[in-house]
Structure 1
Amino acid sequence: MDVLLLEYPKCSTCKRAKRWLDERGVNYADRDIVADNPTADELARWVEASGLPVRRFFNTSGRLYRELGVKARLDGGMTNEEAVQLLSTDGMLVKRPLLIVDGTPTIPGFREDAWSQALALD
């Protein structure tokens, strides 16, 4: 199983998620979402593989999300391609932590039940 964790090292939820993975003995590659922001191609693949709307990949509680008026832009008809391009411009726009298992993301954010299911820990 190939496991990638995209996280922001200063984020308390990301720290909690890493601790949770470590306690369960999950081997994963760790990637700083700001220093190594996901590309538009990666994001497009992950959004499609997840089956979730692209808006679920936005960090809606972030300062940058509010400053850029992303909610209004999404509500105003921003296309998936435009949204993915915007997400790829700054890691602080991306919902974190993001767990990618064998190329497919779980629900963006840390949800123990979804992560357990994606990692076949149940």
Structure 2
Amino acid sequence: MIKMYAIPNCDTVKKTRTWLDEHGVAYEFHDFKKEGVDPARLMHWIEQVGWETLLNKRGTTFRKLPDSDKQDLDADKAAALMIAQPSMIKRPVVEHPGGILVGFAAERYAAAFC
């Protein structure tokens, strides 16, 4: 089963959901805002794609952090930030039988699902 982890009102997530729906790809949706993120699952993602890929440094949540929280980032510190504020996770994260997709790019989704 394909599972999407995201926040429903994110524009990138809306594009991803539209693409999946248009291509007949069934998925389950996990809302970070309502359900949070499982720390063990987050650590698995970090092992698979790296914390640098998962941590959304462009988002307002990250940019509003005190400088001390942004300095000396490593996997553990990044994971703690993402667990405390799941909106710092780059969206969407899509688990599928072939791996994990982070963010949206139509060509990557076509390669994974078509």
Task: State if a TM-score over 0.5 links the two structures.
Answer: yes
1:93 aligns with 2:88: yes
TM-score, normalization by structure 1: 0.80
Superimposed CA distance per residue, residues 29-82 of structure 1 (whole angstroms, 9 cap, x where no aligned partner)? 0111221222221111012123xx312112222221011147973xx4322122
> How many equivalent pairs are there?
114
TM-score, normalization by structure 2: 0.85
Alpha-carbon separation, structure 1, partners of 2:35 and 2:98: 17
Unaligned runs of 5+ residues in structure 1 are none
Secondary structure in 1 matching 2:57: coil
Kindly report structure 1 stretches of 4+ aligned residues shifted beyond 4 Å. 69-72
Residue identity matched to 2:82: L
Alpha-carbon separation, structure 2, partners of 1:13 and 1:6: 12
Q: 1:81 aligns with which of 71, 76, 85?
A: 76
Residue identity matched to 1:46: W
Alpha-carbon separation, structure 2, partners of 1:55 and 1:69: 19
Tell me if structure 2 keeps the 8 A contact 1:43–1:84. yes
User: Percent of aligned pairs with the same residue?
Assistant: 25
Structure whose residues are more often helix by fraction: 2
Superimposed CA distance per residue, residues 61-108 of structure 1 (whole angstroms, 9 cap, x where no aligned partner)? 2221011147973xx4322122112211112111111211138311x2
Residue identity matched to 2:61: L
CA RMSD of aligned residues (A): 2.1
1:116 aligns with 2:110: yes
